[in-house]
Amino acid sequence: MAEQRTPKQDRRAAAKVAAARAAQVKKRNQALAGAGAGLAVVAVLVAVFFITGSGGDGEDVGSPALTTTVSPTPTAPAEPTAQPEVPPSQPAADFPPVPAGADPALKTKPEVKAGSGTLAKLKVTPIIKGKGAAAKAGQTITVNYVGVTYGAGEEFDSSWTRSQPFSFPLGQGQVIPGWDQGLVGVTVGSRVQLDLPADLAYGENPQGGAPAGPLRFVVDVLAVQ
């Protein structure tokens, strides 16, 4: 025959069961908390490894630093201001820069004709005598000029057609020998004719389209420095 329990005994039994269940829940929560803490520690260690492990001093030496290059947006270049063309026979208003007190003839392009006979050596013929300083080797000389072939009188070059004087260091080998030799001692404001044999010009077989044979130049000396 089953033992009859009193209500008091039932309450005590129920309390024991509840206490046992509470202890199990507490134990399980503590275990989960411990596992979570362990995972957090592992996560921190992994992060530290990735941050510091690639370089001993905190610098990532395995790859270059990333940089951003920003290219400016290209813009269309400004349209150049149209300049009126100056025909060869009509130089610009400020051309040529004739020195003060010089012969007004220097403002006009000279007419250069062909020579005659055989030209064996440099010949310097004064056309206008200037009153300025004499050009010396080593100085920078500024000139206007017209160049023609000696035998045919065909023009091949002229500063007048460009409305731009030509400057160069005299006697330094920067121009043909006939100029380096023939313009030394010529005074500012002068106009001279230089007749050059081929060996003092571009030679008999020049390169780059230069004229061959003897040449004739008419040169105006505008300044020396």
Which of 49, 51, 60, 156 is an active site residue?
Answer: 156
| Catalytic residue, candidates 145, 150, 195, 220 | 145
Neighbouring CB atoms inside 10 A of 137's CB total 14
156 is catalytic: yes
Out of 176, 180, 195, 220, which one is annotated catalytic?
A: 176
50 counts as catalytic: no
Query: Which amino acid would we find at residue 81?
Result: T
With beta carbons less than 8 A apart as the criterion, state whether 197 and 214 touch: yes
User: Strands 215-224 and 140-149: what pairing?
Assistant: antiparallel
Closest among 177, 193, 93, 101 to 143, alpha carbons compared? 193
Q: In 3D, which of 200, 143, 137 has the Cα closest to residue 169?
A: 137
Active-site residue (options: 150, 180, 195, 202): 202
Instruction: Please confirm, yes or no, whether 217 is among the known catalytic residues.
Output: yes
* Active-site choice (141, 150, 180, 217): 217
Q: Which one of the listed residues 157, 166, 168, 199 is annotated catalytic?
A: 157
Active site residue 176: yes
Q: Which helix (H) or strand (E) holds 182?
A: helix 177-182
- 17 CB-side CA count, 13 A: 6
Which active-site residues does the annotation give?
A: 145, 156-157, 176, 202, 217
